[in-house]
Chain A
Amino acid sequence: GAVVSQHPSRVICKSGTSVKIECRSLDFQATTMFWYRQFPKQSLMLMATSNEGSKATYEQGVEKDKFLINHASLTLSTLTVTSAHPEDSSFYICSARAGQGGNSPLHFGNGTRLTVT
């Protein structure tokens, strides 16, 4: 089945530094990828939609200058958390559709747990 790989699985960084998270579709091409954020015991909240070759679409309340998204190829999207602060500590998960249209469900990576100290 479709596989989405996310790296790193866990990262600890100091406040003020930037962290890059990679999301790869391993056996399919994804023109669109989605980035979610999940707090403990909470559901997934969509942060942004990453579009290959164009600017990402951010959900209301998500700072685009803080969460930089680059979707440079059909198999790779990156999320960079810039000038991270402790309140950015969370579980970040990317997802992609293996195909177009309604018969293509969303598959998720295994997430990246970010801890900002």
Chain B
Amino acid sequence: QKEVEQDPGPLSVPEGAIVSLNCTYSNSAFQYFMWYRQYSRKGPELLMYTYSSGNKEDGRFTAQVDKSSKYISLFIRDSQPSDSATYLCAMSKTGNTPLVFGKGTRLSVIA
């Protein structure tokens, strides 16, 4: 079993839809959880950064962490064509240890 599992998609939704992206993980030592957005041929861009369980909201983005289930989610409200990208979840055990990434989910938002 991989440390971090993420459905690669592709996921296609109409503009304005609510998008739900998810990752599961096996190592209960992970405490820091991140979501990155990566456009084609570009480096990952940090979207959300959370510590331990709970929710965090930033504009149209909401990140949820459920450590008891080893499950994290990213919700995108009112999705836009510009949200079309690959979304990578990442996590680490401490604030200074390297990240472990999911494979990424390719999202297409259709106008």
Q: Which residues of A contact B (CB under 8 A)?
A: 4, 6, 32, 34, 41-44, 46, 49, 91, 93, 95, 97, 100-111, 113
Contact = CB atoms under 8 A, between A and B. Distances in A.
Contact of B94 (A102, A108, A113): A102
A6 B45 CA distance: 14
Contacts of A93: 43-44
B8 A41 contact: yes
B46 A111 contact: no
B8 A46 contact: no
Contact of A108 (B6, B44, B104): B44
Nearest to A102: B95
A30 to B, nearest CB: 12
Most buried by B among A4, A42, A43, A93: A43
A65 to B, nearest CB: 21
A4 B42 CA distance: 12
Given A43-B101, A43-B103, A113-B41, A107 B46 contact: yes
Given A44-B88, A105-B34, A106-B34, A100 B96 contact: yes
Contacts, number: 59
A46 B44 contact: no
Given A44-B88, A102-B32, A106-B34, A111 B43 contact: yes
B51 interface: yes
B42 A111 contact: yes
Nearest to B50: A105
B104 A105 contact: no
Nearest to A6: B43
Given A43-B102, A43-B104, A104 B95 contact: yes
Interface in B38-71: 41-46, 49, 51
A4 B46 CA distance: 12
B41 A101 contact: no
